[in-house]
Structure 1
Amino acid sequence: MDANSHNGAERATRFSAALSRARTGDDTTWRRTTEAANAAYATGDLRHAIDLYREALDEAERLFAAASFSSVPVPVIYNISCHNLAEIVERSGDEGAAEDFLVRAYDKLLASAASPETPLPLRLDCVRHLKHALAQLVQHLRRRAAPDARIARYVDTAKTTAFAVFHAAKHAEIADLNCDHCAVRPS
């Protein structure tokens, strides 16, 4: 087999494995990468830890994209990935990048919770974990003396979204998960 055929076969095998993981929603890669990042962090190898935490966040993104097909707790995984990066970059002195990661977790969970295209069980999980993302973000913003109005916007938006999702869940329950007159998607 020539080098090009061998490389093509390797890529096909890796793609097939990735596709299989996506279908099953296996979080093994994320867990192993996060554990390796934690070990690098514990030994003081911050650069390597950051690289591994970024890989874990990429894996969390992939898992989130496949969330409709799996039972993996993607809101938790995504939140942890963003918060790990926020913590390490903040300790490295980059408070702006830390805030970016905290906002990223908040925004992802908020958008997924708010979207009627997201299956209702996942929307509910996103709302449940949005409160953790919000708490970390608010704590960070208060340490940085952010204006109260800015913090209040994050809190109010999260509350409004949570209320809408819980209302949709209650509606779906009352409608016995079969409501033809609205856009509620319980599955």
Structure 2
Amino acid sequence: MARLLKSIGVTPNAMTPPHLRGVRQGDDRWKDLTRRGNAAFEAEKLDQAEILYQEALAEAEAFFGDFIRGQGPAGVDAAPMLIVSTGNLAELAIRSGALEQAGILVLALCWRLEGVLGDQTLARPIREACFTHSRYALVQAMEKLPRVGWAADAVQREVERFQAVALGYLGEAGAGECLH
């Protein structure tokens, strides 16, 4: 597992993208829901955490939908919001024993980002943002899928499939232009 993490340039402790720490116009409600959900989760108020995390995910989904249509608020990159919200809800599902649901959440996140990376009709900045944040989705998969019962080789196949899509995007966009 450590080798897979290293291959995508992420350590297990690098789950929160650094730019999520600053407040940007437009995502304050999502951040508030996420903070409150995290507090409820830490206090073992799992029912309350679930409601807040589901609301945060709905907010992230709305932002992401607007984002990929090029209609989102300026300065709000919705990909990290979607990744963090999905990860929070998946972690809650694991804690609650809903292992299959957690696996589905993580896989759906990866597949959603793959779909954006592979969609040549979307604007390049949108695809580039999803590429930039895709490693955090891979961390979610590598960290959570084994915990919900996936065998190491199955996790590795999923990661390699995701990486192939990302590499296809890099080849199409030009590696140097995406990794500035």
Same fold? TM cut 0.5: yes
- Counterpart of 2:28 in structure 1 is 28
Provide the aligned length of Structure 1 versus Structure 2. Answer: 149
Distance in 2, matches of 1:121 and 1:135, equals 22
Q: Does 1:99 align with 2:103?
A: yes
Q: Give the Cα–Cα distance (whole angstroms) in 2 for the partners of residues 79 and 61 of structure 1.
A: 10
Give % identity.
Answer: 28
Q: Which residue of 2 aligns with 1:63?
A: 63
**More contact order relative to length (CA 8 Å, sep ≥ 6):** 2
Q: Residues 20-169 of structure 1: matches in 2 within 5 Å?
A: 26-67=26-67, 68-69=70-71, 70-169=74-173
- Runs of 5+ unmatched residues, structure 2: 1-24
What is the distance in 1 between the residues matched to 2:40 and 2:149? 32
Q: Secondary structure at the match of 1:117?
A: coil
Partners of 1:140 and 1:125 in 2: CA distance:
23
Moved more, 92-101 or 133-142: 133-142
User: Cα offset for 1:145?
Assistant: 4.8
Residue 141 (structure 1) shift = 2.7
Cα distance in 2 between the residues matched to 1:158 and 1:57: 22
Gaps of 5+ in 1: 1-24, 174-187
State TM-score, norm by structure 2: 0.73
Task: Give the match's secondary structure for 2:122.
Answer: coil
Provide closer, same or farther for how the CA distance between residues 147 and 123 of structure 1 changes in structure 2, counting only shifts above 3 A: same
TM-score by length of 1: 0.71
8 A Cα contact 1:109 1:129, kept in partner? no
Whichever of the two has the greater Rg, that structure is: 1
